[in-house]
Amino acid sequence: MIEKTREYPKEIMILEAIVRRFPPDDFKKAEFEKKLYRKRAGYKGERTLDYFLEQIDHSEMLILHDLRIPVNSTHFQIDTLILTPYFLLIIDSKNYAGTLIFLPEFNQLIRVQNDIEEVFPDPILQTKIQASQLKAFLKKHHITSPPTENLVAISNAQSIIKNPTNDKEVSYRVFRSSNVAFKIPPFYQKHTQFLLSKNDMKKIARLLIKAHESLVPDPKSMNLPFDKLITGVQCPACETFGIVYHQGKWTCKSCGQKSKDAHFQALKDYFLIYGPSITSKQFREFMKVGSPSTAKRLLASMSLTFDGTTKGRIYFPGKSFFD
């Protein structure tokens, strides 16, 4: 049973909005594009593992995707946690392209791509640390943790996995996502003691879901050229900014495309970059809408909540605004 689903990360949404509205001639744009590309690849890798995990019989397990649990002044993150009556299993997914060379002796993962060598943190070590943090978290809540297991899923089907020192731990714990159905059963043979009832598993899941804090980075700390970010509503067809609202619809002067709801995406971008509130005046400036009554109508067309009277009204994204 999937107890916690994976959501499209807010961090990626924020980066998408920033990249969309970054001044194209600013050299720093490439840095944000690179980060967005990396985060999207990671998310894609997680989704690939989810897909293969959904194919196996998981009726006796509880699966929790994407946990971020506060511990002391930081957080520990788990891509996928599987609770079974006998053991807990942590799976970290990596979507690295290229040739991946595992060198556990020095806790290194070397990636070679287009003749460039890069060092990544040892993902097996990462999952071990996650396991010990999870145990400490459970202990703090007076729960004795069952044995934990950890795996590293390589989701990029094109990457080449190498284990030059024939390390047993690497061949045991690193696998291709498509192979997950064959990776889990051996753990049932290794851990045979029934330790968690269905209720115990539910209780742990609830505890973790309650403690979970999703990552919402603050664009204010990202050194953005706020005064140069592109404003206006974007054409959904040719991506030109500054399309014009007239007679109940947006019209693009570049390509002629018409849209009734192009302001939705623009308002999403605004909330993601500037924070989750907007006044009617800010809305008019950002959307380049002159008329207060048009702005009012457009604001009313979206699932927003608001505070205050008509004049000083502040609008906030409603519960399902980003869905």
Question: Smallest gap, in angstroms, from Cβ of residue 95 to Zn ion?
Answer: 33
Q: By CB under 5 A, tell whether 214 contacts Zn ion.
A: no
Distances (CA, A) of 87 to 3, 90, 156, 175, 184: 17, 10, 27, 19, 11
Smallest gap, in angstroms, from Cβ of residue 238 to Zn ion?
3
Minimum CB–partner distance for residue 243 and Zn ion (Å): 7
Contacts to Zn ion from residues 43-72, by CB under 5 A = none
Which window, 162-170, 250-258, 265-273, 279-287, contacts Zn ion (CB under 5 A)? 250-258
- Tell me which of 19, 143, 224, 237 binds Zn ion, using CB under 5 A: 237
Compare residues 287 and 299 and give the one whose CB is closer to Zn ion. Answer: 287
Is 257 among the residues that bind Zn ion (CB under 5 A)?
yes
Q: Using CB under 5 A, which of 152, 184, 252, 287 touches Zn ion?
A: 252
238 binds Zn ion (CB under 5 A): yes
Nearer to Zn ion, 169 or 239 (CB): 239
The single residue among 55, 113, 171, 254 that binds Zn ion, judged by CB under 5 A, is 254
* DSSP tally for the chain: helices H, then strands E: 10, 16
Residue 67's DSSP bridge partners are 78
DSSP for 268-290, written as a single string: HHHHHHH-S-EEHHHHHHHHT--
Nearest to Zn ion of 214, 254 (CB atom): 254
215 or 244: whose CB is closer to Zn ion?
244
Residue number, 209 or 230, with CB nearest to Zn ion: 230
Residues 303-322 that bind Zn ion (CB under 5 A): none
Interaction residues for Zn ion, span 82-141 (CB under 5 A): none
Phi first, then psi: give them for residue 319, nearest 5 degrees: -55, -40
The burial class, CB within 10 Å (0-12 / 13-18 / 19+), for 125 is middle
Tokens representing 116 are 């460039």
Interacting residue with Zn ion among 157, 181, 255, 300 (CB under 5 A): 255
| Closest separation in Å from C-beta 241 to Zn ion | 10
Q: For Zn ion, which is the closer residue by CB, 85 or 232? A: 232
Choice from 83, 184, 235, 278 touching Zn ion (CB under 5 A): 235
We find the least distance from the C-beta atom of residue 244 to Zn ion, in angstroms, to be: 11
Distances (CA, A) of 77 to 53, 191, 297: 19, 25, 42
What's the rounded Cα separation, in Å, for the pair 49 and 58? Answer: 14
Look-up: residue for tokens 């049973």? 1
CB 244 within 8 A of CB 253: yes
By beta-carbon proximity to Zn ion, the closer residue of 64 and 252 is 252
Q: Where are the beta strands (DSSP E) in the chain?
A: 2-4, 62-71, 74-83, 88-94, 99-103, 108-113, 116-121, 148-154, 160-162, 174-176, 244-246, 249-251, 258-259, 278-279, 304-307, 314-317
Q: How far is the CB of 251 from Zn ion (least distance, A)?
A: 9
CA 260 to chain centre: 29
- Tell the smallest beta-carbon distance from residue 22 to Zn ion (Å): 19
Interface residues with Zn ion (CB under 5 A)? 235, 237-238, 240, 252, 254-255, 257
